[in-house]
Chain A
């Protein structure tokens, strides 16, 4: 069955190639269908592969060709199919397909329609390859390739300066992370002598025993790459700006799939990470801090997509927190449920933007529910799932990872406090967003409000499908710790169990954590209700009351400004200095020598009769002298 695995990446790639070559001139609107067909094909094969291996997902690999052999370095391009890959494939291809369908409606009037449907399947191809890679190099190749797709799609509307700026910012921030990743990869080859997953894992315990510091460094460097790709503090700054891209892109790449690559990577390397408690601690703390940090910023954003962007950063932080305490299954579980409900919320926000004629500012929305019932209802389902309300998908996964921090003990209590606070704020900003958008009195001008309309079916049906996913996906993890996903991924994450990181909770504990989580979410929603619904004040008044705190949050703690002035400005300054140095000192010296030589030459010329003889004479004399020096002095 794994023999057909190569079809999964190939089909979207073929769609990309066809649309890229023939899209602009010949296919035009048909590019949408071709892209959809390619991604649907990938989805079907993934599901078939999943079902065929439901009981028994032994890791299998397919070698395609030899990449390069140089001395003792040898590397094959190989695909891997195992439980973790299959889970990721299901998530990636199913959400991708929904987004592809939706985009046919959303992008209908865009002149770049064919270009959009060229980039989108290219992304799906790259993401599929990323999760199917069987060694670090192939992983890195597609790690950067998805970054490229992200660049192309963020900057899709390239006539906007802000879109191009955001695209470059995303690429460069990711490259900073990738440098860490690449150094980690090179060190891994230096230490293990291989880049193949299984061979690295097999040697890991021996290496950990011999040079534990080296293993920690490798884990941390790879994690730097994950921080870039998955937008963790302090490399998170690109993700909110990435909202410059068309909304389906935000849903697919900047919420559901690509940004989870970092989480996937750490989970994939679980046999390595469990051997370094220091690296695990860093992963957990960075994740937990980012979760809370981003949630606070989310409270103050007025752009509906930016709220969701900070929410994504925050939720990814929770996943890393879970990884850091060894709760790998919980992290992947949350990754999967998050893909559905966050994909849904983004597509829903796109539907709102579409229906309100390009309005993104929630301060100028309100009361849209009546006009857009399908979008509104599905959005609320997504919001409830995000806030963690039982029995929606987000509840089960978030609850499990919060519980895991408590079970870890020690630092785990701090992590729980951070994670639970983040969840509390999540409920507040989510329902602030829902209330400001769909309920209360509208703050739109009457002329515009009357034109608000529900989106066409091609957009609402994906919303409904994803809403079903957001509602029910959690049941793959029920009962807690013993659901389908736990059994399925058990062998993949066996290393955590062997390292003693997995604690079996009692039923009372599980129920207790659930009760607390539910309470936190409900209180959050109630607070949002009492602020934004009960008296339904203008959002500006609420902001005014928050004072300097609001200034701090709305400016994202001024971190972006710091980067712009200090890092980017500093680099430019050094560049300017070097350019000056190059022109005036290095080249200046060259010209000076030229001047001196021609001055001497001029003097000689007066003494000699002709110029040519002069040159010939000096060349011969000089050569002879130097040659004599060589032969006599040094042999």
Chain B
């Protein structure tokens, strides 16, 4: 195993597939190659998972000099946190391509090419151990997403995609500046000029520098999560994005923000994180409640789920900035679960839209009469989304709440718990209006989802149940790494208590 650069294979296989797709004439062949590429990436990620050693830090590392004069390397590696994200990523992309087989019939070549490049960009973000490499992937990923929404999107796709790109670009440019600053400050103090993420995270930085650099990183990540008040690009992007675009957007893109907080903000800037803690906890709780209340009022299915994402991602930042092991573990589980569940919900909405050509809740109703299989699966994922115990959504929320209660200021935890009433309200209300009651005449001849579509959703459902019933399988992957982060915080004198 040592000799095979397995992470590089996971990372670049989709690119190989993308290039091959360009030269293929036939839809069937293009899909075969894309499926093979994404499936192979998924299988290799599972291989990494199986041979992964919990608690042994960064593994499967590959390091080559890229621009040695500037201290830039091609460096990849996984720990438990990034491995889980890579698994989520390769899993969702494979399912998206399967789903696209049934649903994408126009500009297939371009579509598959874009999707595969997107997968490379996102996987790279989670695998990179060099800041320049990381930043390249972070920005590269924007382009295919821009194309995906801009070409296959809905009516207001230009507005949505420009907003999405400008917003995230704004955040990431500031991050670039902070990365460069980090490079120089680290070089000036130690004499070692490097972009090596692990080495930079080992260093200690002055409080004032930490604060400014933290703010720059914060903006980049907060926009990605998205935290309130940087969230308004999300509903627009979701509404206009094609189904698989929404799946990837909600499923993985948002996770890059949370991942960034965990991987960079906490270890690099512990003192600044501590200073920002109260403010971020307040924003998190606002996100949970405000996002849910706004979701309650949405008339468009995609917007409803978009705002529910804002609410659910509030739990992620709440957990991370509780500075507790449970909060951190919960945040990661919440990201994993949200990726599966919200990805599935967007697939469901896509299937509904393809049949009814409608996403307005008021125009739907009674579809359970015609679609028993679909009705069951949509109900399942709605319940997972509202955090029903026994399914994955509960695990993250529960552990985050445990962490929030440990901060000593229990008000954040108590307020966050109220969010679970609101989430039940908007999801069940949505389900009632869309699936129950009387069927509209216009929909009386629509067919239930196909076997292929069912299979995609069932695959997601299996993992949702698994992670809900036996979360330890996933938690044990990364709990050693999160406890390392906690230890780092403790060494910097950061405690979880909000009021000191």
The reply to whether the CB of A161 lies closer than 8 angstroms to some CB of chain B is yes
Q: Are the C-beta atoms of B402 and A148 separated by less than 8 Å?
A: no
CB neighbours (8 Å) of A635 from chain B are 185, 188, 206, 208-209
A–B pairs, 17, beta carbons within 8 Å: A67-B472, A68-B329, A71-B324, A145-B389, A161-B437, A172-B425, A179-B421, A186-B402, A572-B297, A579-B293, A582-B294, A586-B231, A590-B233, A594-B163, A627-B184, A630-B184, A635-B206
Q: Which 8 A-B pairs have the closest CB atoms?
A: A71-B325, A141-B389, A630-B181, A587-B232, A579-B297, A575-B296, A158-B436, A70-B329
Q: Which residue of B lies closest to A179 (CB)?
A: B417
Any A CB within 8 A of the CB of B471: yes
CB distance from B483 to the nearest CB of A (A): 7
| Chain A positions within 8 Å of B476 at CB level | 69
B296 and A571 form a contact (CB under 8 A): yes
Nearest chain-B residue to A187 (Cβ)? Answer: B405
Given A24-B372, A635-B209, is A155 in contact with B424 using a C-beta cutoff of 8 Å?
Answer: no
Residue A144 at the chain B interface, CB threshold 8 Å = yes
In the complex, which residues 370-395 of chain B have their Cβ closer than 8 Å to any Cβ of chain A? 372, 383, 388-390, 394-395
Tell whether, in the assembled complex, residue B181 and residue A159 are in contact, meaning their CB atoms are under 8 Å apart: no
B169 to chain A minimum Cβ distance, whole angstroms, is 10
- Over the window 589-631 of chain A, the binary record of Cβ atoms lying under 8 Å from chain B Cβ atoms (1 yes, 0 no) is 0100010000000000000000000000001001100110011
Binding site for A on B (CB under 8 A): 163, 166-167, 173-174, 176-178, 180-181, 184-185, 188, 206, 208-209, 211-213, 228-229, 231-233, 290, 293-294, 296-298, 324-326, 329-330, 366, 368-369, 372, 383, 388-390, 394-395, 398-399, 401-402, 405-406, 410, 413-414, 417-418, 420-422, 424-425, 428-429, 432, 435-438, 470-472, 475-476, 479, 483, 486
B330 and chain A: residue at smallest CB distance: A70
Give the residues from 164 to 218 in chain A that come closer than 8 angstroms, CB to CB, to chain B: 164-165, 167-168, 171-172, 175-176, 178-179, 182-183, 186-187, 189-190
- B-chain residues with CB within 8 Å of residue A145 when the two chains form the complex: 388-390
Chain A residue numbers with a CB within 8 Å of B402 are: 70, 73, 186, 189
Whether A627 and B479, one on each chain, are in contact in the complex, defined by CB atoms closer than 8 angstroms, is no
In the complex the two chains form, is A155's CB within 8 Å of B436's CB?
yes
Residues of A within 8 A of B231 (CB): 586
B294 touches which one: A67, A72, A575, A634 (CB < 8 A)?
Answer: A575
| Contact between chains at A630 and B178 (CB < 8 Å) | yes
| A186 CA / B410 CA spacing, docked (Å) | 10
List the A side residues contacting B290 at CB < 8 Å. 578, 582
Contact call B296/A182, Cβ cutoff below 8 A: no
Q: Is A498 an interface residue (CB 8 A)?
A: no
Query: In the bound complex, do residue B389 and residue A140 qualify as a contact, i.e. CB atoms below 8 Å apart?
Result: yes
Q: Which of A70, A148, A179, A183 contacts B479 (CB 8 A)?
A: A70
- For B206, the chain A residues whose CB sits under 8 A away are 634-635
For residue B162, which residue of chain A has the nearest CB? A594
Question: Which residues of A479-507 are within 8 A (CB) of B?
Answer: none
Q: Indicate which residue in B294, B428, B437, B472 contacts A69 across the interface (CB closer than 8 Å).
A: B472
Q: How far is the CB of A39 from chain B (nearest CB, A)?
A: 20
From A190, A594, A633, give the contact of B406 (CB < 8 A). Answer: A190
With contacts A70-B326, A70-B399, A189-B405 taken as known, whether A578 is within 8 angstroms of B209 at the C-beta atoms is no
Q: Which residues of B contact A69 (CB under 8 A)?
A: 472, 475-476, 479
Q: Determine the chain B residues whose CB is within 8 A of the CB of A587 once the complex forms.
A: 232
Q: How far is the CA of A483 from the CA of B231 in the complex (A)?
A: 64
Contact status A574-B293, CB under 8 Å: yes
Whether B405 lies near A190 (C-beta < 8 A) is: yes
Contact (A176, B232) CB under 8 Å given A65-B470, A140-B389, A578-B297? no
Would you give the shortest CB distance from A134 to chain B, in whole angstroms?
Answer: 16
Q: Which of A148, A155, A586 contacts B232 (CB 8 A)?
A: A586
| A66 interfacial by beta-carbon distance below 8 Å | yes
Cα(A140)–Cα(B429), bound, Å: 23
CA distance A161 to B365 in the complex (A): 11
Contact of A579 among B298, B424, B479 (CB under 8 A): B298
> Do residues B184 and A571 form an inter-chain contact, with CB atoms below 8 A?
no
- Per the 8 Å Cβ criterion, residues 2-51 of A in contact with B are 24
Is the Cβ of A631 less than 8 Å from the Cβ of B330? no
Closest to A589 in B: B229
Contacts of A141 in B (CB 8 A): 389-390, 394
A144 near B389: Cβ-Cβ < 8 Å: yes
Bound-state Cα–Cα, A175 to B419, Å: 11
Which residues of chain A are near B394, meaning CB under 8 Å?
141
Q: Is the pair B475, A623 in contact by a Cβ cutoff of 8 Å?
A: no
Tell me how far the C-beta of A430 lies from the nearest C-beta in chain B, rounded to whole angstroms. Answer: 35
Whether A576 is near chain B, meaning CB under 8 Å from some CB there, is yes
CA separation between A67 and B212, bound complex, in Å? 40
Give the residues in chain B near A594, CB-CB below 8 Å.
163, 166
1/0 contact string of A106-118 vs chain B (CB within 8 Å) = 0000000000000
Contact partners of B176 in chain A: CB under 8 A = 623
